[in-house]
Amino acid sequence: MSMKEMENEENEPKFPGFPYKPYLIQMDFMKALYRSLDKGGVSMLESPTGTGKTLSIICSSLQWVYDQRQKQKDRAKAESDRNQSDHGEIGSDDEPDWMRNFVANTEVRKQEKKVKKKFGLGKSCERKNQDPEVIPRVLEEEDCHLKKDGVDLNDEEFLLDEYESDDEVSIGSGKSKRKVGGCLASSSSDEEGENDASDEEEEKDLKIYFCSRTHSQLSQFIKELRKTRFTNEITVVCLGSRKNFCINEDVLKLGNVTRINERCLELQKSRKNVVSKIKNIGANGRTRRTKASSGCPMLRKHKLQRQYRDEVSQLGALDIEDLVQLGRGMGTCPYYGSRSLVPVADLVVLPYQSLLSKSSREFLGLNLKKSIVIIDEAHNLADSLISMHDAKITLSELDHVHSLIEKYLARFYNLLGPGNRRYIQTLMVVTRALRQTLCSEMDLSRGNTFQVEEKAAEVKPVLDISMAINDFLFSLNIDNINLVKLLQYIKESNFIHKVSNYGEKVTSLQKDPVLNGSGACGEERSSLSSFRALVDMLVSLTNTDGDGRIIISKSRSACSGRQGGFLKYVMLTGEKIFSEIVNQAHAIILAGGTLQPVEETRERLFPWLPQSQLHFFSCSHIVPPESILPIAVSRGPCGQLFDFSYSSRSSLKMIEELGLLLCNLVAVVPEGIVVFFSSFEYEGKVYDAWKTSGILERIMKRKRIFREPRRNPDVERVLKEYKETIDGLSTHAKDVAPHNGAILLAVVGGKISEGINFSDGMGRCIVMVGVPYPSPSDVELIERVKYIESLGEPNPVETRKTSVSDEYFNGDVQAAFSILRSCKRRGQEYYENLCMKAVNQSIGRAIRHIKDYAAILLVDTRYASDSSRRSFSHQTNKLPQWIKDRLVPSTNNYGEVHRLLHQFFKFNKKRELQ
C-alpha cells in the first residue's frame, strides 16, 4: 500500500458507534453523510427502505458532531497554551468562521444569560419593564372608571385595554401599543410556561434536529438510537403534539386535537394571568382566586418539572411513550417537560410540522443557527411543506366569528377607545366580505371555475372557483385594507381571547344556536378555533400574489338546506419557507428511500442553489437479487387484459378477474399478502363485488381478510390482528391451521402505505392494483400542476395564466387530462411523479432486512412494456433502481406469473431453512 493510500485511509471517517459490522453500502452511506456535514449546505441521500438507513444516519451524524467537538476542545486547549506563552494571540484565520467562533460565542452567551437572569429579562410579559406596584394602581384606576360608567364588574375582564393609533406608534417599532398595565398576548406568549428553566442552561452548539412525518417513525428512530453507544453519551429529547403527550384526563377526554390544544392554552393562560387574579375582586374588596386561575394540575409544582427534566437527561433515549409514562409516574406534564430540554439537548427528534413551520419553531424555541437538520422520508417534502401553510375557513366558522364580534362590539362600544373601535370595525368589514363570497353569486370573470362532482351524499354539487390573491381582494373590495396592521392589532390586543371568553359567558347564559358552536347538522366548533381559522386566512392573504391561490368552494347542505362551503388558501411555492431553514442551519440533509427526480425538488425548494452545489448520493439495496421478484402482470387467469384506468376499472369483468388473481395467489403465496388500491372508494366497490360473486368466500377459505379502516385510531388494531394471524401460523400444525396466512386490503396514500413495515411474513407479496394517479379533477392539484409548469419561465405568474388551458370542466377525468396534456413538460412530470412516488412508498414496505424476501406484482397492462422501447416517462422508469433492475417487464399469460412465484417461494423457503 502506498504512502498516499495509507494517508487517505487514515483520514477516512470511522464509525465505532455502529452496533454491527456495517455492510458496504451502509459504510458508503455514512461516509457520504459525513462528507456532506463537512461541506455544509444542502445534501440529498437516497438509500432504499430496509437498508439500515436510520441507523446509518444516527451513527454518521453523531460521530461527526463528536469529532467536531473533540477538535473544538483540542483547539481551545492549544489556544490556551499559546495564550500562556504569547498574550493576545487568538484563533486561526484558516478556520471556518462558524468553527472559530464557538468558544467566543459560548462565552458571550454565558454573559448574556447572567445579565438576563440578574435583571429578569426574557421572562413572560407580565414582568417586563413594570414596577410590581404599577399593575394594582392601574387596575384600581380602571375599576373606578368602569364603575363610574356603570359597567357590570362581571363583564369587566372582557374589556380590551386601550390601543393607541398606528399613527402615534409605529407598528414595526417593536413597542407595545397598549397602555401600562396591559400585556402583549400572542399565540407564542400564551404558550410560554413559567416552569421553563432553560435560561439556567447553556445551549448546546452543533445541535442535531431529526424530523420525520409520523410519531411512529420517530419512535422507530429512538429504537434504533438505543442500539448505539451514543444513547448514554448524549442528551436526546423527543417532541410531539399535546394529544400524544397530555396526561390531564379532563383535557384528554375532549378527543379532538384542536380542542385539546385550546384547553391546554387556556389552562396555561389562567395559571399565569396575574391581571385576572387582581381584577377578580369580591364585595369586601379583597382579591379572590378563582378555580380557573389554578391552571393545569400537572404544572402546579415547578420542582416536579425540574425533577422530570433531570430524570430524562439521565435515562438516555426515550420515545414519546416513555416520556408520557415518566410524566404519569411523577405527576407532572411531559409535554412542557420535554420542551424544556430543547436548549440542553444534543439531539432533538421531532415531527415535520414542528420544524418546518416558522411559528412552531419560534414557539418551541428551536435555534437552527449552525445546527444540523436531517429530514427523513423526504420524498414528498415539497408538497408536505406547502400543505402545512394552507389555510381554510368554513362558512359556519365565519358566521360564528362575525356573530361573536358583532355582539362584543354592541356590548362594549361606548367603553372602547377609538383605536379598538376602528380595528374591530375593520375586522367586521373583512369578515362580512368573506362571508358574502360564500353566501351570494359573485363575478367569476377573474377566476377559473371547476364544477366538481358530488363529494358526499349529504352535500349537493360543489362549485369551486380558483383566484389569485390580488384578484380575490379586489373582488371583495377590501384591497385598500392593511391586513398586516390588522393582524398586528389582533396579536397585540389579546382580542381573540377577550371576545372568545365573552362569547362563552354569553353562551352559558343563553342558548344561542350561533354562539353555542353547534351547527344544523351537528357540526361542532369552538370560538378559539374559528378565530384561529380566520387569522390563518388573513395571514395567507398577506402573501405575495404569485405564492398561492384562493379556492372558493360553494355547497348546500342536504340535511338543513343551508348554504355551506369554505374558503381555502393553497400555497404553491415552498422556496421562501425552506430558505429560512437553509440560511440558518450549517447543513440540511434530505434522506429517503426514493428521492428522485432530484431536479424537481431543487426547483421547488432551493432553486437558487446551482446543481453543482447540491450533494446527491444514492446506493443500492442490501438484499441479493434472488430475494425480490417484481413482475408486471398484464393478464389475469382467464386471459382478461388488466386495465385499471378510470374509464374501465369499475367494470365487473375487470373486478372479477382481479378476484380470480387473488384466488390463485392465496394458493401459491405463503403467509401475508398486502393489496394496495387507488382509493377507499374503489377498495369498497371491489370488496362488495367480490362478496356478491362469492370470490370473497373462496379467498377466505385460505386466508383471513383484513381491510384498512378510514379512521387512523383503528389502524393499529387492524395491523395488530393481521400480525397475530401471521405469527400464529408458526404455533399451529399444518393440518390444524384454519388458514395459511392473511390478506390485508390497503389504500395508496393511507396510513398503512406510509411508514408501516411489512417485514418477513407480514409482506411476502405486495400487489399494486393499477397505476394510482391522483384525481386530476381536484382544483388544488390543477393549480399546483400549473404553477410547476411555469417554473423556470421568465415571468412565472403571467406564464401560468396563459401557458396552461383554463378551460371549464365538470369533474370529468378525461376533460381534466386535456388540461394536463396542455402542459409541456414540468406539469406532466410532476403529476406522474406524484403517482409513482406513492407506488414506490407502498411496494417498498416489504423488504426490511438482508434475509427478507418478497414478490411485488404490478397489476396493470401499463406497467408491462418491452424494455427496449420504453420512453423516459414510462411508469417503470420511475421505480427504484433496485426494483427496476430485477423487474420481469412482461409475461404472455398468468401461467408464467404463477410458475415464477412458485419457484421464487420454493427457493427462498429452502434457503431460509438452511
pLDDT, mean of residues 200-210:
80
Q: Are residues 303 and 260 part of one domain?
A: yes
The reported pLDDT for the residue numbered 810 is 44
45, 33 in Cβ contact below 8 A?
yes
Query: Which residues does residue 209 pair with via DSSP β-bridges, in sequence order?
Result: 348, 373
Query: Which residue's entry shows cell 462565552?
Result: 107
Reading the block at residue 254, the C-alpha cell is 375532549
pLDDT, mean of residues 659-663:
97
* CATH value at residue 547: 1.10.275
Least confident of 110-119, 151-160, 554-563, 713-722: 110-119
Q: Is residue 149 part of a domain?
A: no
674 vs 404: CA distance, rounded Å: 51
Q: Are residues 652 and 551 part of one domain?
A: no
pLDDT surpasses 70 at 519 = no
The reported pLDDT for the residue numbered 165 is 52
Does the global pTM surpass 0.85? no
pLDDT surpasses 90 at 134 = no
Q: Is residue 172 part of a domain?
A: no
562: pLDDT confidence band, cut at 50, 70 and 90? low
Question: From the CB of residue 651, how many other CB atoms can be counted at a distance below 10 Å?
Answer: 13
In the chain, the amino acid numbered 224 is: E
Q: Is residue 341 part of a domain?
A: yes
Q: Are residues 730 and 648 part of one domain?
A: yes
Q: Are residues 616 and 646 part of one domain?
A: no
pLDDT surpasses 60 at 257 = yes
Least confident of 440-454, 475-489, 676-690: 440-454
500 vs 515: CA distance, rounded Å: 10
pLDDT, mean of residues 522-548:
85
Computed on alpha carbons and rounded to an integer, the radius of gyration of the chain in Å comes to 30
527-540 and 495-509 helices cross at what angle (nearest 10)?
A: 150
Residues 6+ apart with CB under 8 A from 667: 702
Beta pairing class for 372-375 and 587-592: parallel
Q: What is the pLDDT of residues 835-882, one digit of tens each?
A: 999 999 899 888 888 899 999 999 999 998 754 444 446 788 888 888
| DSSP secondary structure, 305-316, as one string | HHHHHHHHHHS-
Report the SS3 class of residue 114: helix
304, 332 in Cβ contact below 8 A?
yes
The secondary structure of residue 869, as a DSSP letter, is: G
Looking at 369, 399, 414, which one is the last position of a domain? 369
680 vs 677: CA distance, rounded Å: 7
The reported pLDDT for the residue numbered 671 is 94
Structurally, the chain folds into a number of domains equal to: 4
pLDDT, mean of residues 824-841:
89
The CA distances from residue 665 to 12, 575, 673, 711, 789, in Å, are 49, 46, 9, 29, 42
814: pLDDT confidence band, cut at 50, 70 and 90? low
> Which among 323, 258, 327 is positioned nearest to 296, based on CA atoms?
327
Instruction: Please give the share of the chain, as a percent, with pLDDT higher than 70.
Output: 74
Beta pairing class for 372-375 and 448-452: unpaired
Where residue 96 falls (left for φ over 0; alpha for ψ -120 to 50; beta otherwise) is beta
The reported pLDDT for the residue numbered 508 is 75
Instruction: Please give the share of the chain, as a percent, with pLDDT higher than 90.
Output: 48
Question: From the CB of residue 123, how many other CB atoms can be counted at a distance below 10 Å?
Answer: 15
Report the SS3 class of residue 621: coil
Q: Are residues 315 and 246 part of one domain?
A: yes
Q: Is residue 538 part of a domain?
A: yes
Please state, rounded to an integer, the average pLDDT across all residues of the chain.
80
Q: Is residue 111 part of a domain?
A: no
Reading the block at residue 234, the C-alpha cell is 448524549
pLDDT surpasses 80 at 339 = yes
Q: Are residues 357 and 472 part of one domain?
A: no
The b/e string for 498-529 (b: 16+ C-beta within 10 A; e otherwise) is bbbbbbbebbeeeeeebbebebeeeeebbbbb
736 vs 746: CA distance, rounded Å: 29
Q: Is residue 424 part of a domain?
A: yes
pLDDT, mean of residues 279-283:
42
pLDDT surpasses 80 at 897 = yes
pLDDT surpasses 80 at 17 = yes
Question: From the CB of residue 58, how many other CB atoms can be counted at a distance below 10 Å?
Answer: 30
Q: Are residues 353 and 303 part of one domain?
A: yes
The reported pLDDT for the residue numbered 124 is 38
The reported pLDDT for the residue numbered 397 is 94
Alpha helices in 12-100 (DSSP H): 24-39, 53-85, 97-100
Q: Is residue 591 part of a domain?
A: no
Looking at 587, 620, 653, which one is the last position of a domain? 620
Least confident of 53-67, 221-235, 262-276, 304-318: 262-276
The reported pLDDT for the residue numbered 712 is 80
Q: Are residues 560 and 499 part of one domain?
A: yes
393 vs 82: CA distance, rounded Å: 64
The reported pLDDT for the residue numbered 300 is 86
Q: Please state the φ and ψ torsions of residue 617, each to the nearest 5 degrees.
A: -135, 140
Q: Are residues 69 and 214 part of one domain?
A: no
pLDDT, mean of residues 433-455:
63
543: pLDDT confidence band, cut at 50, 70 and 90? very high
The helix or strand, by DSSP H or E, that contains position 443, with its residue range, turns out to be none
| DSSP secondary structure, 151-198, as one string | --HHHHTTPPPPB--TTTS-GGG----BPBTB----HHHHT--TT--G
The reported pLDDT for the residue numbered 449 is 56
pLDDT, mean of residues 721-730:
88
823: pLDDT confidence band, cut at 50, 70 and 90? confident
Q: Are residues 636 and 615 part of one domain?
A: no
> Which among 749, 744, 591 is positioned nearest to 662, based on CA atoms?
744
Q: What is the pLDDT of residues 44-98, one digit of tens each?
A: 999 988 889 999 999 999 999 999 999 989 988 888 888 877 655 444 444 444 4
More confident residue, 593 or 914: 593
More confident residue, 798 or 376: 376
* CATH value at residue 353: 3.40.50.300
pLDDT, mean of residues 385-403:
93
The reported pLDDT for the residue numbered 266 is 80
Q: Is residue 784 part of a domain?
A: no
Distance of CA 460 to the CA centre of its chain: 31
The reported pLDDT for the residue numbered 237 is 95
Q: Are residues 360 and 406 part of one domain?
A: no
The secondary structure of residue 556, as a DSSP letter, is: E
174, 315 in Cβ contact below 8 A?
no
pLDDT surpasses 50 at 117 = no
pLDDT, mean of residues 468-493:
93
pLDDT, mean of residues 3-8:
50
554: pLDDT confidence band, cut at 50, 70 and 90? confident
Query: Which residues does residue 347 pair with via DSSP β-bridges, in sequence order?
Result: 208, 236
Least confident of 212-226, 388-402, 450-464: 450-464
Domain that holds residue 554: 391-440+463-504+529-573
Beta pairing class for 448-452 and 462-468: antiparallel
Q: Are residues 305 and 433 part of one domain?
A: no
123, 182 in Cβ contact below 8 A?
no
The reported pLDDT for the residue numbered 526 is 77
Looking at 581, 600, 620, which one is the last position of a domain? 620
Distance of CA 693 to the CA centre of its chain: 42
527-540 and 483-493 helices cross at what angle (nearest 10)?
A: 150
